[in-house]
Chains A and B, each alone.
Chain A
């Protein structure tokens, strides 16, 4: 499991697409921090500290799904299509393959977040643990959904397309649910992580519950699947 985790982590960091994504997030975070710093005189100190990290949270809420789906939409089906998965399933259990992939992708995003929050810390000497946790929670939700998508849909080209669609639909649905008075918005709000983030506290646990359901469904699908 750890070998697969390490392999996935290194693979993501070696990809140009990943490096551009990381550079984009870090760059935007730095710009937001700088912008908040310039407006420092208009805000009290406590609000200012939140403001720096808020930029990253908004970025992750809006573009997090797109980042995750664009980099990991084919986390499993790439290996199924290329048949490299056969080298793995003949050596270790299918559960360990899924967990290894999951941990590898999570570790990549954890490092990205650490770098991003590190930039904020270096710029304005603040580290908002709560926002860090909220960003990680949203990303884990997206990662497990990407793994499930990658198992449910066999072709990487299809998951690329569906991933982009989901990356637009998820934040769209989330924000529509939060702002709309439509009766459907009351229940659709609970399909995306945004309402739980908004409610905060123990509600974020539901996002982790969703992640656990997606991961369990992925394991179930993979265990039944021929490679």
Chain B
């Protein structure tokens, strides 16, 4: 069941179209990664989904119903892109206040558990104005989790936090995913998105350029795979025969001492290459097929006109 469904969603600020007719479905239980460079329209899109800003045109459906009634707000948790808190409230008081605004109860124990989940339990009674940027980000995640929402919108959840905390947050997101929560997140950390997201969209100039699982993106973006083989020595005659065969399989063949590499456009050709080497009684020490990283896909998408 789609928990988020947008049809031709657009947002214009004056003459500038920031989000341009985006139609998207996010299924229940997904960790959906939303990528794009600064100004691509990611935050504007997430802000429209969460009711922070109004779309110029198009429609949004949440949990299979329209957003005219406010009931869906009880089922979501949001970490906005820019989190500032009330100067006068402590971390714990923020969570209690936001729970009451949402109309849900939050016990002391639940409050402690939420703060512990983001490693802020020792700072529960400290005022948020004394927090560092990273701590505010963590408090932002904790407040998003108030009321045990089914769907989480996280705008750059790990930006500005230290490496250890970022790993902790990634683990928290994985654990929420295991609990069946749907997570819609934006990030500039491609490694993080690659590790935890089940589906990824790359946004460019207000439109979605690429969409799919990492495997699907890799398949779509990499026509030529780089294959390198380490092998035992063979005679000049064997090498000439193999060389002729290998060069029919792919392109950019490079021959070295005990190794060669080439680019192939089909996975079946990797299998054919290995079969040929085995039949020629060449000992294979290693075969490495290089899959494109998300970084490579992202850059390719960004540079694609």
Contacts and interface: CB of A to CB of B under 8 A. Distances in A.
Nearest to A92: B101
A217 B85 CA distance: 28
Contacts of A6: 100
Interface residues of B, number: 24
Nearest to B98: A87
A80 to B, nearest CB: 11
A89 interface: yes
Interface in B135-154: 143
Contacts of B101: 3-4, 87-88, 91-92
Interface string B9-27: 0000000000000000000
A215 to B, nearest CB: 19
Which residue among A6, A11, A86, A226 has the maximum number of chain B CB atoms within 10 Å of its CB? A86
A199 interface: no
Interface residues of A, number: 21
Given A82-B84, A84-B86, A3 B51 contact: no
Which residue among A2, A3, A6, A82 has the maximum number of chain B CB atoms within 10 Å of its CB? A3
A92 B98 contact: no
B97 A90 contact: no
Nearest to A86: B80
Contacts of A83: 80, 82-84
Contacts of B143: 87
Interface in B43-93: 47, 50-54, 70, 73, 76, 78, 80, 82-86, 88
A87 B80 contact: yes
A224 interface: yes
A3 B76 contact: no
Nearest to B94: A87
B73 A226 contact: no
A89 B97 contact: no
Contact of B52 (A84, A86, A92): A86
A209 interface: no
B92 to A, nearest CB: 15
A93 B102 CA distance: 10
Interface string B95-109: 001101111000000
Which residue among A82, A87, A92, A224 has the maximum number of chain B CB atoms within 10 Å of its CB? A87
A107 B228 CA distance: 75
Contacts of A14: 88
A2 B102 CA distance: 11
Nearest to B146: A91
Contacts of B76: 90
A227 interface: yes
A6 B100 CA distance: 10
B102 A92 contact: yes
Which residue among A2, A82, A89, A93 has the maximum number of chain B CB atoms within 10 Å of its CB? A89
A155 interface: no
A3 B100 contact: yes
Contact of B78 (A7, A86, A92): A86
Contacts of A92: 70, 73, 101-103
Nearest to B104: A91
A194 B201 CA distance: 60
Contacts of A86: 52, 78, 80
A91 B146 CA distance: 10
A7 B97 contact: yes
B52 A11 contact: no
Contacts of B86: 84
The 3 lowest CB-CB distance pairs between A and B, nearest first, are A3-B100, A226-B53, A90-B78
Interface of B: 47, 50-54, 70, 73, 76, 78, 80, 82-86, 88, 97-98, 100-103, 143
Interface of A: 2-4, 6-7, 11, 14, 82-84, 86-93, 224, 226-227
27 contacts: A3-B100, A3-B101, A4-B101, A83-B83, A84-B84, A84-B85, A84-B86, A86-B52, A86-B78, A86-B80, A87-B101, A87-B143, A90-B50, A90-B51, A90-B52, A90-B78, A91-B98, A91-B101, A92-B70, A92-B73, A92-B102, A93-B70, A224-B54, A226-B53, A226-B54, A227-B52, A227-B53
